[in-house]
Amino acid sequence: MKRIVLLLLAAAALTSCRKLHSPGVTITTVNNGGQSVNTVEVDYPGGSYGFGSLPPGGSHVRWVKVTGNGPLRIDFINSTGEHQAKPLSLQSGDSGAVVLHIQNDGSVSFEDNRGKK
């Protein structure tokens, strides 16, 4: 009986800890082109981050906390020049994942795997 009570308490604690998870979005940037992209900057409502380069087929992953409403923007340089894209909008409290696919021509497509509110 004592074991059952301890198991129930442990299960309740784990369930409540899961609710403490802070909402955020995992942004994965994938270079689908046949050339490197450089000077990559990602801006989102509440912040930004950047990284130097991404080789063909390479990816970069970053978790961010979205604190406002607005566009997700990516800027980068490849052999065809400077590019900027605003593929989707984010909202405060968003949670889930977004995958940005950089194409050879400098365009950006995306997969939106955020949970619905």
- Per residue in 63-93, pLDDT (tens digit) is 999 999 999 999 999 999 999 999 999 999 9
- Whether 88 is covered by a domain: the verdict is yes
- The answer to whether residue 76 sits within a structural domain is yes
Measured in whole angstroms, the distance separating CA 42 from the mean position of its chain's CA atoms is 10
CATH number at residue 72: 2.60.40.2890
In a domain, 10, yes or no: no
The token pair that represents 35 in the structure block: 């050339």
Answer whether residue 17 is part of any domain.
Answer: no
In a domain, 44, yes or no: yes
Of 11-20, 38-47, 56-65, minimum mean pLDDT range: 11-20
Overall domain count for the chain: 1
- Quote the CA–CA distance of 24 and 45 in Å, as a whole number: 12
Residue 22: band (very low, low, confident or very high) from pLDDT cuts 50, 70, 90: confident
Boundaries of domain holding 85: 22-114
* 49 assigned to some structural domain: yes
Report helix, strand or coil for 79.
coil
Check pLDDT > 50 for residue 16.
no
Q: What is the pLDDT of residue 115?
A: 84
Q: What is the DSSP annotation of 14-77?
A: HHHHHTTPPP-EEEEEEE-SSS-EEEEEEEETTEEEEEEEE-TT-EEEEEE---S-EEEEEEEE
Q: What is the predicted pLDDT for the residue at 12?
A: 53
Tell me if 92 is assigned to some domain: yes
